[in-house]
Chains A and B, each alone.
Chain A
Amino acid sequence: DAKTTQPPSMDCAEGRAANLPCNHSTISGNEYVYWYRQIHSQGPQYIIHGLKNNETNEMASLIITEDRKSSTLILPHATLRDTAVYYCIVLIGTASKLTFGTGTRLQVTL
């Protein structure tokens, strides 16, 4: 599975868009990009995933570059409850070993 690189921490003002980058330059053609987040003291929670097209759901949008070497998770209107560690993961299929890096700690402030 491809490795990912994320900044260790980011800040965002409440109400503004939070744009969380992820680099996955060694991604292969059949690997998906997944995003999870972990709010303090809870288990990680799935946010969104995609292969090559941009995706949007009720939580977030995922923008994947044309060469698929990087992606951005967008929280359009961040709230204090979005303060969490965000993990970007790439993997093939559903039986792959699901491994997490150290993620990006997003702090949303007033």
Chain B
Amino acid sequence: DVKVTQSSRYLVKRTGEKVFLECVQDMDHENMFWYRQDPGLGLRLIYFSYDVKMKEKGDIPEGYSVSREKKERFSLILESASTNQTSMYLCASSLGDNLRNTEAFFGQGTRLTVV
């Protein structure tokens, strides 16, 4: 089974802190995604990556950056956390070049609270 693992289920950080959210997948997937989910706003794409060291902005990249140094790991970075970044963060991965296997697999999410 594909496994997408997010490093923390719950996280509490202070305003202004640099925050790292880590995501690891074990199925050699090319694509990886970071989303945030807020009540009434659905899932919104922050960044995605289709290869090592490659990244593309999603719909709400402001205040975030990402790193993909290895194929299995995709990190989301909050350079200076703010209270409006309090949210549920979800990571996902999918195969890159086979249309027959294009489902995305999601991690269980990290609930980040910035105080």
Contact = CB atoms under 8 A, between A and B. Distances in A.
Contact of B108 (A36, A43, A87, A101): A43
Size bin of chain B's contact surface? 20 to 34
Nearest to A85: B42
Interface stretch (A17-25, A64-72, A91-99): A91-99
Contacts, number: 72
Interface string A24-38: 000000001010101
A53 to B, nearest CB: 14
Q: Is the interface of A mostly helix, strand, loop or mixed?
A: loop
A94 B104 CA distance: 9
Contacts of A101: 42
Contact of B48 (A41, A98, A103): A98
A95 B41 CA distance: 24
A94 B58 CA distance: 15
Given A97-B56, A98-B45, A99-B45, A43 B92 contact: yes
Size bin of chain A's contact surface? 20 to 34
Contacts of A49: 102-103
Contacts of B59: 99
A22 to B, nearest CB: 14
Nearest to A51: B99
A34 B99 CA distance: 12
- Centre residue among B30, B31, B104, B105 by max chain A CB count within 10 A: B104
A35 B103 CA distance: 10
Contacts of B95: 94
Interface in B9-44: 30-31, 33, 35, 40-44
Interface of A: 32, 34, 36, 38, 41-46, 49, 87, 93-95, 97-103
Give 9 nearest A-B pairs by CB, closest first: A43-B106, A46-B103, A102-B42, A100-B43, A95-B50, A94-B102, A99-B45, A44-B106, A43-B90
